[in-house]
Amino acid sequence: MWVLDVQHESWPIAGTFAISRGSRTIAEVVVATLTDAKSGRRGRGECVPYARYGESVEGVIAAIKAMAPALASGRVDRAALQAAMPAGAARNALDCAFWDLEAKERGRPVWEIAGLDAPRTVVTAETLSLDTPEKMAAAAKAKEGRPLLKLKLGSEGALDRVGAVRAARPDAALIVDANEALPPAELTATLAALADLGVAMVEQPLPAGEDGLLAEIGSPIPLCADESSHTVKDIPRLAALYDMVNVKLDKAGGLTEAIAMAKAAEEAGLKLMVGCMVGTSLAMAPAFLLASRAAYVDLDGPVILAKDREFGLSYSRGHVSPPLPDLWG
């Protein structure tokens, strides 16, 4: 019923992208394409395998290809896919391909089929890669006019970096992403100092699984779960520790789970952040459908790349517009 094609693509990054766990110059993505054997219409989905979660390009491709017989016979549709594959990048690519294909076959946009609000232009954070305070300040200055900057921090020198960026861009809203790296013994003092620097939110200050400490401190800044936040099952625990959750389709395993996760988070009193791995606009497009209900949007993956794919999202001074149907959905 559905013919599967899987491709590995490499997209050069503009310069180097560095976080607390390392740096890279290439974004490695996997694209799954589903073609309806009768109509010939196609749907695409892009995912980014992430080593932090035990994924590799080869492993994700193998997991997607393993679904080919069930897809060809029609035994697995989008609904059945949720149980047939675990959450993660591989399921994300297929789930988003199913959504795109359904939109093409029904002649209706995905947001309408899914019962979501019509997408609109939103502010997206633009990321400052982990570097020296001076280089991060220069990068912030180069993003003059962008209203929201996201700083990647490590285990050392966090306050120096944020202070340098704040001095360079006193007008910008700042959020920071520690990627699990802030020293626990210094956390209370660090959060207080970040508040004094006008930081609006801190993302994943402690390692996933070791963040129970957050229940014991009173943070002056909203805290957002990222590495600790994967699927709906995580929401009850996160609601006791964080103020918001970062919903990423590559962790959730697709738009289907991400929608359910967003609803569960909101019902638990958590605010939403919609985030991404470093990929092309094809990966951003499905996540964009949740952007209008998020407190923070971080869908700047294509901005980090040296070039984006055809019909990519339109970025303008920290604002991003809805995807074209030629791209996805």
Q: Is 263 a catalytic residue?
A: no
Element (H, E) at 145: none
**CA 56/CA 79 separation, integer angstroms:** 25
**CA 64/CA 4 separation, integer angstroms:** 9
Half-sphere exposure of 136 (CA within 13 A, CB side): 30
Q: Is 152 a catalytic residue?
A: yes
Instruction: Quote the DSSP letter at residue 305.
Output: B
Catalytic residue among 104, 150, 152, 251: 152
Residue from 168, 292, 272 nearest 222 by CA: 272
DSSP assignment string, 184-209:
GGGHHHHHHHHHHTTEEEEE--S-TT
Q: How far is CA 181 from CA 69, 177, 178, in A?
A: 42, 9, 5
Instruction: Quote the DSSP letter at residue 222.
Output: -
- In what order do the strands lie in the sheet containing 122-123? 122-123, 319-320, 315-316
Half-sphere exposure of 257 (CA within 13 A, CB side): 29
Residues in contact with 131: Cβ distance below 8 Å, sequence separation at least 6, in sequence order: 18, 139
| Residue 60 and residue 90 in contact, taking contact as beta carbons nearer than 8 Å | yes
Catalytic residue among 248, 251, 271, 307: 248
The pair of three-digit structure tokens given for residue 30, joined into one six-digit string:
């996997």
Active-site amino acid positions: 152, 248
